[in-house]
Chain A
Amino acid sequence: MHGLVAVDLHVIWQQVFHPDSVFFRTLWATVYISIIAQTAGVLLGLLAALARVSRFAPLRWISGVYVWVFRGTPVLVQIFYVYFAFSWPTLHFGFWTVPDAAIAGIVALSINEGAYMREIIRAGIDSVDKGQMEAAKSVGMTYGLAMRRIILPQAARVIVPPLGNEFNNMMKTTSLVYTIGVFEMFAFAEQNYSQFFIADYFLAIAVWYLLLTTIWTFIQAYIERRLSESERGEELSFRERVQAAWNPMTSWARGGGG
C-alpha cells in the first residue's frame, strides 16, 4: 500500500540525485524543446510585431489574425492539429535524434509563443520615445536600420522581463507534448508511474522543473542587469564587468530578484 506513504524517499533520491541515462534523455528533450521553441517564438513575435507597426495594411491585418487565432485557441489543440494534420520528418544530428513528434511539438509551441511575444515586443517598441526614430531618421537612417540599431536595443529593456517569464512558462508547457508521444520529462514520470504506480516520480520531475526555472531566474537577472547598465549611465570597469559576469548571485540580489 504505497499510497499511504506520502513521499517515497527512495524514488525521489534515485531520480533527483542519481538520475539514469534514460531520465537524462528526457531532461534534454525538455530543455531543447523549450530553448528552440522559445527562440523561434521570439523571432516569430518580432516579425509579427514589425508587421503590426508596418505601413502596409495587409501585414497589420495578417499579424492581427495570427494573434487572434493562436491566443484564442488552446495550445493543446494546436499541438494535436500540427502533429496530425502534417507529416513531419525525424532529424538526425550525429548522436542526437529529434523525432517527428518533437518537431511538430516545437513548431506548435513556437507559433503559439510567437503570438504572445508579438504583444510583448510591440509594447517594447511602443515604450521607446518617438523622438528616437526621428533622431535616427534625421541622421539618414532608414526605418529598418533605425529599428535594428536604435529602437530594438532600447525596447529590449522592456521586453526582457516578460520574455523571461514566457520562457519560464515554456519550460513547463513543454510537458504537453507528451500527449503526442514525445519522450520528455513528463512522459518519463508518467511512464514510470503507470508501470510502478509510484506517484513520487511526478514529485521528482517537479524538483527538476524547479531546478530548471531557478537556473533561468539567475540567467534572466544577469541579462536584465546588463541591459540596465547603460541606461543608468554606469561606467563599469573591466574588472567589475568580469565580476558581474561570473557572479549571477550578486546581480540577482542587487537586481531585486529580477
Chain B
Amino acid sequence: MSGVVMHAEDVHKSFGKLHVLKGVSLEMTKGETVCIIGPSGSGKTTFIRCINHLEKMDSGRIEVNGHLIGYRQRGDKLVEDREKNIARQRTEIGMVFQRFNLFPHKTALENVIEAPVHVLGTPKEQAVGLGKALLERVGLADKFDTYPGKLSGGQQQRVAIARALAMGPALMLFDEATSALDPEVIGEVLSVMEELARAGTTMIVVTHEMGFARKVASRVVMMDDGRIIEEGPPEHFFEEPEHERTKQFLSKIL
C-alpha cells in the first residue's frame, strides 16, 4: 500500500471528562483532498491536531508516510516518542491554522524560510529562492519584505500556506483556514487551496465552506460527536446523504 499517505486507526482523545474523539479511523492516498465537515465540537479540529501530535491522543495509531506519529512501538504498546523524533515527523506535515500564527517579528519571506534554514539546514540562498517561488505561487510576489502586521488576513493566511509548503510536506492540514477571515478575502485563500489540490497536494481540510468541499474535495467526511458518521465523494455526499444527522446538518447550512 505505497499510495497511503495517512492512516489513522481508532483514535481516542479526551479532555478531562470530555470524550472528544471516540474512535476515528481514516485513510488517505496520495493526491487526495479530504474535507472534514461537521458541527462545532464534533472533534474535527482535535482530530487533525492529533495527526501532527499537537494534541496527544489517548489511544489509537496514526501513521504519516509510513511513520508512526508521536509514538514509538515498544512490544505491543505505544510509548510517546522523543521530542526530536516528533519534530522530525512534523516536518512531513504542513499545518495551516485558523489564526495564521505567522511569526510577527519576521517578514513574509523570513517566515517562509525560517524552518527550511533552521530545521532542515537548507542553505540560505537556496531557501530564499524557494521562499520567493512559494510566495509568488500564492500571489504575494510584491510582499517579500513586508511584516505580517502590515498584511491583510487573507495575505497572512497565504504566507502561512507558503510557510507550511516550504518544508515540502507529504500532507497538508488546514484547520478552518478561512474561519477567521473577512468575507471578501476568503475567496483568495480558497483559490490558493484549490490550486494546491489540483496540483496533487495531499490535504485534509477542516472547513465550513461547503462550496469548496463540493467543488474541490475528492472525499467529504462528516464528523459528529467524536466519530466519522459518513463519508463519500462530494456528488454523492451532498446529493444523497445517507445518515440522518448529515441530512440535518446539511439542511441547516446549505
Contacts and interface: CB of A to CB of B under 8 A. Distances in A.
Given A134-B101, A233-B147, A149 B114 contact: yes
Interface in B194-249: none
A154 interface: yes
A143 B90 CA distance: 13
A231 interface: yes
Contact of B101 (A129, A145, A231): A129
Contacts of A20: none
Given A135-B102, A139-B164, A140-B87, A233 B119 contact: no
Contacts of B52: 138
A139 B105 contact: no
B: interface residue count bin: 35 or more
B103 A150 contact: yes
Contacts of A161: none
Interface stretch (B14-22, B25-33, B91-99, B133-141): B91-99
Contact of B94 (A129, A138, A142, A235): A138
Given A134-B101, A233-B150, A141 B119 contact: yes
Interface residues of A, number: 24
A131 B99 CA distance: 8
B149 interface: yes
Contacts of A235: 145-147
B91 to A, nearest CB: 4
B105 A140 contact: no
A126 B90 CA distance: 24
- With most chain B CB atoms within 10 A of its CB, the pick from A132, A137, A138 is A138
B167 to A, nearest CB: 6
B104 interface: yes
A150 B105 CA distance: 8
B24 to A, nearest CB: 20
Contacts of B67: none
A140 B115 contact: yes
B163 interface: yes
A255 B54 CA distance: 39
B105 A231 contact: yes
Contacts of B99: 131
Contacts of B54: 134, 137-138
A134 B101 CA distance: 8
Contacts of A234: 147
Contacts of B164: 138-139
Interface string B126-168: 0000000000000000000111111000000000100110110
Nearest to A134: B54
Nearest to A151: B103
A142 B91 contact: no
A140 B119 contact: yes
Contacts of B160: 135
A131 B87 CA distance: 16
- With most chain A CB atoms within 10 A of its CB, the pick from B52, B103, B114, B148 is B103
Contacts of B88: 140
Interface in A226-245: 230-235
B95 to A, nearest CB: 4
Contact of A154 (B84, B105, B118): B105
Contacts of A129: 101
Contacts of B115: 139-141
Given A137-B87, A140-B88, A233-B149, 10 more contacts: A134-B54, A135-B97, A135-B101, A135-B102, A135-B160, A138-B94, A139-B163, A140-B91, A142-B84, A145-B118
Give the 4 A-B CB pairs with smallest separation, nearest first: A233-B149, A140-B91, A139-B115, A135-B101
Interface of A: 129, 131-132, 134-143, 145, 149-150, 153-154, 230-235
13 contacts: A129-B101, A134-B101, A135-B101, A137-B90, A138-B97, A139-B164, A140-B91, A140-B120, A145-B119, A149-B114, A149-B118, A150-B103, A230-B147
Interface of B: 52, 54, 83-84, 87-88, 90-91, 93-95, 97, 99, 101-106, 114-115, 118-120, 145-150, 160, 163-164, 166-167
